[in-house]
Amino acid sequence: MTDVVMARAFHVLAVVMWIGGVSMATTVTLPAIRRGDLGGNQLRAFRAVEHRFVWQARVAVIVVGLTGFYMAWRLDLWDRFRAAEFWWMHAMVCLWLLFAFILFVAEPFILHRHFDRWAAARPQVAFAWLQRAHWVLLLLSVVTIVGAVAGSQGWSMF
């Protein structure tokens, strides 16, 4: 079972680096950008931080997906997807799909161009929206992490 232990260790490590970054962006970086603490050009400040973190987040999402499906396959956990008490398994996969879509499809192909134009025209509104979107993602992540840690130890709310 060493392989499953290692898969779990890398799963959690990648989650920490990825959601830790989302938390930092939501509660520290975006408020600082909105206040103008990182310079008058908010879009430039945002891009300087984002273009470094986005690749870390993409790698982390790949690691989380590979290790997560590996554990599900090795431990033959597929039946859990038919039981409501394992809602946190569904939550992990849904959150992963949501972030994968944002990082690999929406951000490079849709958001990048539109957000830049929006932020140049109305920076206050655009960054307020961006921070709200990050809060939603962070809250979903926190619920998923608490559910997964407690649920994998046998806790059930049903």
User: Using the rule CB under 6 A, is 148 a contact of ligand HEM?
Assistant: yes
Q: Where are the alpha helices (DSSP H) in the chain?
A: 2-24, 30-35, 42-74, 87-101, 112-121, 123-152
User: Using the rule CB under 6 A, is 90 a contact of ligand HEM?
Assistant: no
Binding segment for ligand HEM (CB under 6 A), chosen from 40-48, 89-97, 101-109, 122-130, is 89-97
User: Using the rule CB under 6 A, is 92 a contact of ligand HEM?
Assistant: yes
User: Using the rule CB under 6 A, is 144 a contact of ligand HEM?
Assistant: yes
DSSP codes of every residue in 44-55: HHHHHHHHHHHH
Among 27, 56, 152, 156, which residue sits at the site for ligand HEM (rule: CB under 6 A)?
152
Supply 2's token pair. 């060493």
As measured in angstroms, the least distance from the Cβ of 11 to ligand HEM is 6
User: Using the rule CB under 6 A, is 26 a contact of ligand HEM?
Assistant: no
As a whole number of angstroms, the distance between CA 115 and CA 99 comes to 17
User: Using the rule CB under 6 A, is 57 a contact of ligand HEM?
Assistant: no
User: Using the rule CB under 6 A, is 111 a contact of ligand HEM?
Assistant: no
Q: Tell me the C-alpha to C-alpha distance, in Å, between residue 128 and each of 34, 46, 134.
A: 8, 13, 10
